[in-house]
Amino acid sequence: MAELLLSPAHVETETVSAETVDETLIEQEVAAMERIKRARETLGDQVVILGHHYQRDEVVQFADFQGDSYQLSKEGASVAAKYIVFAGVHFMAESAVILGRPDQVVILPNMQAGCSMADMANAEQVLTAWEELEQVLGDDPTNQIMPITYMNSAANLKAFVGARGGTVCTSSNARGALDWAFAQREKVFFFPDQHLGRNTGKAMGIPLDQMVLWNPFKPFGGLTDAQILNAKIILWQGHCSVHQQFRPAHVDAWRKHHPDVNVIVHPECMMDVVDKADLVGSTSYIVNTINRAPAGSKWAVGTEIHLVNRLKHANPDKLVQLLSPFACLCATMYRISPLDLANVLENLVEGRVINQIFVPDDIQRNAKLALDRMLAIPK
Ligand code: SF4
Residue of 194, 241, 245, 336 best suited for mutating to test ligand 1, as the one with most atoms within 8 Å of CB? 241
The residue whose CA has the least distance to atom 1 of ligand 1 is 330
Q: Note whether 174 and 202 are within 8 A (CB).
A: no
**Which of 218, 245, 233 lies closest to 302, judged by CA?**
245
Q: Tell me the three state secondary structure of residue 51.
A: strand
Integer angstrom CA distances of residue 215 from 32, 93, 124, 145, 379: 44, 28, 14, 18, 31
Measured between alpha carbons, how far is 309 from 295 in angstroms, rounded to an integer? 17
Query: Which residues have C-beta atoms less than 6 Å from ligand 1?
Result: 54, 89, 115-117, 152, 240-242, 304, 330, 332-333
**pTM for this one?**
0.91
pLDDT of amino acid 192: 98
Q: How far is the CA of 332 from the centre of ligand 1 (A)?
A: 8
Integer angstrom CA distances of residue 305 from 10, 85, 186, 243, 286: 31, 23, 39, 10, 13
For 56-89, where are the alpha helices, taking DSSP H only? 57-60, 69-78
pLDDT of amino acid 6: 33
Measured between alpha carbons, how far is 199 from 196 in angstroms, rounded to an integer? 5
- State the sign of the Cα–Cα–Cα–Cα dihedral 8, 10, 14, 18: negative
Measured between alpha carbons, how far is 36 from 238 in angstroms, rounded to an integer? 36
Q: What is the 3-class SS of 131-190, one letter each residue?
A: HHHHHHHCCCHHHCEEEEEECCCCHHHHHHHHHCCCEEECCCCHHHHHHHHHCCCCEEEE
- State the sign of the Cα–Cα–Cα–Cα dihedral 161, 167, 170, 176: negative
| Beta-sheet pairing, 47-52 with 83-87 | parallel
pLDDT of amino acid 379: 67
* Amino acid identity, position 147: P
| Beta-sheet pairing, 15-17 with 3-5 | antiparallel
pLDDT of amino acid 15: 54
pLDDT of amino acid 29: 84
pLDDT of amino acid 25: 80
Atom of ligand 1 nearest to the CA of 243: 2
- 10-residue stretch averages of pLDDT, the chain, 379 residues long: 33 53 80 96 98 96 95 94 98 96 97 97 97 87 86 98 97 96 96 98 98 98 96 98 97 97 98 98 97 98 97 98 93 96 98 98 97 87
Helix (H) or strand (E) holding 265, with range, is strand 262-265
Q: Note whether 185 and 146 are within 8 A (CB).
A: yes
